[in-house]
Amino acid sequence: MVIAASPPQTRGSISRELVETFEHELAGTELTVEEVRIGVFYTAVKLSDGHAGVAFTPRDQADTVCCPRSAGRMPASGKLKGSSIWKLLP
């Protein structure tokens, strides 16, 4: 499925425009998080309908060698599976 956003009528963030497009195109669709992988540089999410996405994970570049210190900053990482995407979107 390809979702094309219409030109914005007002200035706003790209993420807000994408969320509004998803809300319009997928209205009434219940999608949940099936799997999440949070890595040192990237985060990947697979949804209940099989679609997936990958994004760069912004972080303090001084803490990129190993994960023990950074793991504590993602307390919900093990609790996202089964969550509704509508509750997770900004």
pLDDT in tens, the chain (90 residues): 555 555 545 556 888 898 899 889 988 889 999 999 888 788 899 999 999 999 887 766 665 555 555 555 666 667 889 999 888 877
Query: DSSP for 29-76?
Result: ---BEEEEEE-SSEEEEEETTS-EEEEE----GGG-S-SHHHHTT-TT
- Mark whether 58 and 83 lie in a shared domain: yes
Domain span including residue 37: 32-88
CA count, 13 A, side-chain hemisphere, 20 = 12
- Mark whether 42 and 53 lie in a shared domain: yes
- Mark whether 20 and 64 lie in a shared domain: no
Number of structural domains the chain divides into: 2
- Rounded CA-CA distance 56/50 in Å is 20
- Mark whether 2 and 25 lie in a shared domain: yes
| pTM more than 0.95 | no
Phi, psi (5° rounding) for residue 37?
-125, 115
